[in-house]
Amino acid sequence: MFVPLFDAELVHQRRNLFAWGMLCMASGGVNSSALAACGRLITHMTGIATRVGADVGRWGLLGEYALVFSLFILGGFLASLLVLSRGPGGRDGERTGFFVLFAAEALLLGAVAIAGHRGAFGPFGQTVETYQDFALLGVLAFVSGLQNAIVSVATGNMVRTTHVTGPATDLAVFLAQAVSGGATNRKTARRHVRLRIVKIGCFVLGGVLAPLCAARLDYLVFLVPIVPLGVGVLVAFPRERRSAPEESAAISQNRREA
């Protein structure tokens, strides 16, 4: 049975809140960069699914948007499959798979930036719904699905980093609980409120910073989200250092289980 790397306490630790914020900033940057590049948002699967329905009768466009949607799911599926197949996870679980997947995400963003800069996706910001645009959106959808699934699996579905609709709804619910609940419930609700505010604020910040760079960088703007992505991974995913008593207890537990 797979055990998430981050339990409820670890998810809400300050350093990990910072890490989730950095990953949301990266995703917001990817989303706004896609909008600047080809006039379409990419981490917003609700919008992509809506376009699939709206394009009934225009079967070429419908198929292209359906492919983009499918690539988001494929990225999440492959990421989850790799992580879940590597062992039980947990605090001492194998973390190599997570680093490999995040590295793959960074490499794909780098490849998009370089390929676009060399003309593979057409003129930056001047095309909408061309085949080059859908090639770009397909890769970015795969990358977004990859990131969302990695973080979701690692945190036991407590954190997702590529969209705002769910966190905004959670923020409203937990704000209500923070106002109306008992003392214990209010304390828990405030932690959840803080997490959602960090995620939403950082997503918006990433969406602001990337377009500021786009005018000068064109497709190289897709290199910008790699920075907060790397920071978030390096903060949250290295194995924790334990105190001597904790390490001794873990060794004893492993021996008993063996």
Q: Has residue 130 been placed in a domain?
A: yes
Q: Has residue 34 been placed in a domain?
A: yes
Q: Has residue 253 been placed in a domain?
A: no
Q: Has residue 86 been placed in a domain?
A: yes
> 114: domain CATH number?
1.20.1250
pLDDT at 242: 46
Range of the domain at 159: 8-234
**Under a CB-based contact definition with an 8 Å cutoff, are residues 220 and 121 in contact?**
no
Cα–Cα dist 247/242, whole Å: 6
Cβ within 8 Å of residue 254, ≥6 positions away: none
pLDDT at 91: 62
pLDDT at 92: 59
Q: In total, how many domains does the chain have?
A: 1
Cβ within 8 Å of residue 156, ≥6 positions away: 4, 6, 7
At what angle are helices 226-236 and 14-38 packed, to 10 degrees? Answer: 160
**Under a CB-based contact definition with an 8 Å cutoff, are residues 197 and 20 in contact?**
no
Q: What is the model's pTM?
A: 0.89
Cα–Cα dist 235/218, whole Å: 29
pLDDT by 10s per residue, the chain, length 258: 678 899 999 999 999 999 999 999 999 999 999 999 999 988 888 888 888 888 888 888 899 999 999 999 999 999 999 988 876 666 656 788 899 999 999 999 999 999 999 999 999 999 888 999 999 999 999 999 999 999 999 999 999 999 899 999 999 999 999 998 777 788 899 999 999 999 999 999 999 998 888 888 999 999 999 999 999 999 999 976 544 444 444 434 433 433
Cβ within 8 Å of residue 123, ≥6 positions away: none
Q: Has residue 92 been placed in a domain?
A: yes
Cα–Cα dist 214/38, whole Å: 12
Q: Has residue 256 been placed in a domain?
A: no
Q: Has residue 258 been placed in a domain?
A: no
